[in-house]
Amino acid sequence: MEVRPWLLGIATNVVRGHVRAEQRRYRALARAAGRPLEHGDDPADAIGRLDAEALRGPLAAALAGLKPRDRDALLLLAWADLGYEEIAAVLDVPVGTVRSRLHRARRQTRAALPTAEEIR
């Protein structure tokens, strides 16, 4: 009996499960964008909180609209605080590819988000 097809089937199911879980997370984030957040009474950063809250839904939609490889690079940069070389090592791609993916992800995300004037 050949084990390769069996292993590929398992790997395919694992990847599909990961994709479904990721899609659920983005949909949940988009739904949560409509709910108010609870904050302290410090009025000093109220404008920043309002701007951030207004961007929750559009940002979730923008991230969901990116190709997975571009989104992975952007999230590794933004959330994991990795450098270009570290992202290249994690994704097993050249640094130039990381730069291209980040440029594309930033451009598409920027285009999908409303401007500061549109928020206010």
Q: Which residue has the tokens 């605080």?
A: 81
User: Does 75 map to a domain?
Assistant: yes
Task: Give the total number of structural domains in the chain.
Answer: 1
User: Does 92 map to a domain?
Assistant: yes
> Residue 38's pLDDT is what?
59
The more confident residue out of 27 and 118 is 27
User: Does 41 map to a domain?
Assistant: no
> Residue 48's pLDDT is what?
61
The pLDDT tens digits for 15-54 are 888 888 887 877 777 766 666 655 556 666 656 665 666 6
CATH number reported for the structural domain that contains residue 9 in this entry: 1.10.10.10
Burial category of 7 from C-beta neighbours within 10 Å (exposed 0-12, middle 13-18, buried 19 and up): exposed
> Residue 26's pLDDT is what?
75
CA distance 100 to 93: 11
The pLDDT tens digits for 62-117 are 888 899 999 989 988 888 888 999 989 888 899 999 999 999 999 999 898 876 55
User: Does 80 map to a domain?
Assistant: yes
CA distance 96 to 84: 9
In the predicted structure, residue 118 carries a pLDDT above the cut 90: no
Residues 53, 19, 60: CA angle, nearest 5 degrees: 15
CA distances from 10 to 2, 3, 6, 18, 107 (A): 14, 11, 6, 12, 36
* Residue range of the domain that includes 81: 4-36+51-119
